[in-house]
Amino acid sequence: AAKNSGRGTYRFYSADLKDVEQERQLLLDDLREALANGQLQMHYQPVVRTKDHAVVGFEALMRWEHPERGHVSPGVFIPAAEETDLINQLGQWALQQSCRDALEWPENIRLAVNVSAKQFCNKGFPAVVTQVLAETGITPDRLELELTETVFMGDTDATTATFKTLKKIGVRLALDDFGTGYSSLSYLRNAPFDKIKVDKSFVDTCTQKNENSAKIITAIIGLSEALGMEVTVEGVEAFDQFHLVCEKGAKYIQGWIYSKARPQAEILGQIASGGFLIEPAGPETYRPERR
Ligand code: C2E
Ligand code: MG
Ligand code: MG
Ligand code: MG
């Protein structure tokens, strides 16, 4: 820990920063080791169609159980990996592992995989997608790549070319965390997204009085449908949120109200015990009108 020496606020901060940088390096070393030693796992969170509670797909989410650190959140280790080349190897492993796992699911169930902007902007990325599809035999339209608006921060021509190549390969594209970045509508005009994911932050506040979140959710749903894109509302936890977003026309929901992300073994268990209908957890079971 840094010592506060007399007039040394500068020294205090610089020592602190050194600790932070050192810790980041240690974390990255551990992460490299975790990737090499099989300490990383993919878990799968269902995307559910609200009208009949049928699971239509899963989002693959990376999990890291470190022998001493315990559970490390992807919210921590993914941004660290994104500052180095490691994100490319992590991303490729995630794609490979989740495509292999999806092979054991019914064929009508989709797989969504997060792709970091740095990975997407890597020249070799489309070739990696092609290779993993060929290797596993997953049909391209079962695979959905989740991108965030940060992919548009890089070289525009290269980004446009990558979008074209990915559409030619035939994978689906989703815009993740919509509404939290710059959310320029020109992205929606120009990029070939099949789906928009409404960010959890809108859901968190949508049932509060005097909040605009519910209206924004309604507007995003309307906008997506006008553009012929699907919408998934993310991060629905509570029953009142669930009720509200269903009322606003949400056709697909991903959130703890249905299920957290679970390991492949549990997903397979669920298939074995009769398939993919899940009820929302709540004070009563919500049975929306058929739309
Ligand atoms: P994301 O892609 O927006 O994923 C959704 C996050 O929301 C996940 O957090 C999920 O567990 C969480 N979530 C879903 N429903 C609920 C809910 O009802 N309540 C709450 N409190 N949380 C909910 P997670 O797994 O911690 O991942 C965080 C972020 O890390 C992801 O956000 C994604 O940006 C990144 N990430 C995770 N796995 C990967 C990966 O394999 N590759 C890349 N590039 N990024 C990943
Ligand atoms: Mg995502
Ligand atoms: Mg998201
Ligand atoms: Mg996110």
φ/ψ of 51, rounded to 5, equals -70, -30
256 lines ligand 1 (CB under 6 A): yes
Cα-to-centroid distance, 191 and ligand 1 (Å) = 23
Most confident of 4-8, 130-134, 146-150, 209-213: 130-134
Nearest ligand (C-alpha, residue 61): 1
Q: What is the pLDDT of residues 260-270, one digit of tens each?
A: 999 999 999 98
Neighbours of ion ligand 4 (CB under 5 A): 177
Rounded to the nearest angstrom, the gap between the alpha carbon of residue 110 and the centroid of all alpha carbons in its chain is 14
Q: What is the pLDDT of residues 242-251, one digit of tens each?
A: 999 999 999 9
Q: What is the pLDDT of residues 175-233, one digit of tens each?
A: 999 988 776 788 888 889 999 999 999 999 999 988 899 999 999 999 999 999 999 99
Q: Judge contact between 214 and 220, C-beta under 8 A.
A: no
Q: What is the pLDDT of residues 141-181, one digit of tens each?
A: 999 999 999 998 878 889 999 999 999 999 999 999 998 87
181 lines ligand 1 (CB under 6 A): no
The residue among 11 and 48 whose pLDDT is bigger is: 48
Is the pLDDT at 16 greater than 90, yes or no?
Answer: no
pLDDT at residue 286 in the model: 56
206 lines ligand 1 (CB under 6 A): no
Q: Judge contact between 270 and 276, C-beta under 8 A.
A: yes
Q: Which mutation among 114, 118, 149 tests ligand 1's pocket best, with the greatest number of atoms within 8 A of CB? A: 114
Q: What is the pLDDT of residues 53-102, one digit of tens each?
A: 999 999 999 999 999 999 999 999 999 999 999 999 999 999 999 999 99
Neighbours of ion ligand 2 (CB under 5 A): 114, 146, 176
Q: Structure tokens of 133?
A: 């599809």
**How is residue 123 annotated by DSSP?**
T
- The residue contributing the CA closest to ligand 1 atom 24 is 74
Neighbours of ion ligand 3 (CB under 5 A): 176-177
Buried residues in 94-127 as b, exposed as e (16+ CB within 10 A): bbbbbbebbeebeeebbbbbbbbbbbbbbeebbe
Beta-bridged to residue 43, according to DSSP, are 61, 263
Nearest ligand (C-alpha, residue 78): 1
Report the nearest atom of ligand 1 relative to the CA of 119: 44
pLDDT at residue 285 in the model: 57
267 lines ligand 1 (CB under 6 A): no
Confidence of residue 120 (pLDDT cuts 50, 70, 90): very high
pLDDT at residue 1 in the model: 39
What kind and span of H or E run contains 195? strand 195-198
pLDDT at residue 3 in the model: 45
Is the pLDDT at 8 greater than 60, yes or no?
Answer: no
The length of the chain in residues reads 291
Cα-to-centroid distance, 176 and ligand 4 (Å) = 7
pLDDT at residue 104 in the model: 96
Give the rounded percent of residues in the chain with a pLDDT score beyond 70: 91
Report the nearest atom of ligand 1 relative to the CA of 237: 18
Q: What is the DSSP string of 22-50?
A: HHHHHHHHHHHHHHHTT-EEEEEEEEEET
Report the nearest atom of ligand 1 relative to the CA of 43: 25
pLDDT at residue 288 in the model: 57
* Burial group, residue 241, by CB count within 10 angstroms (0-12, 13-18, 19+): buried
Cα-to-centroid distance, 61 and ligand 1 (Å) = 6
Q: Judge contact between 123 and 174, C-beta under 8 A.
A: no
pLDDT at residue 2 in the model: 43
Helix 86-102, helix 9-36: angle, nearest 10: 40
3-state helix, strand, coil in the chain (%, to 5): 45, 20, 35
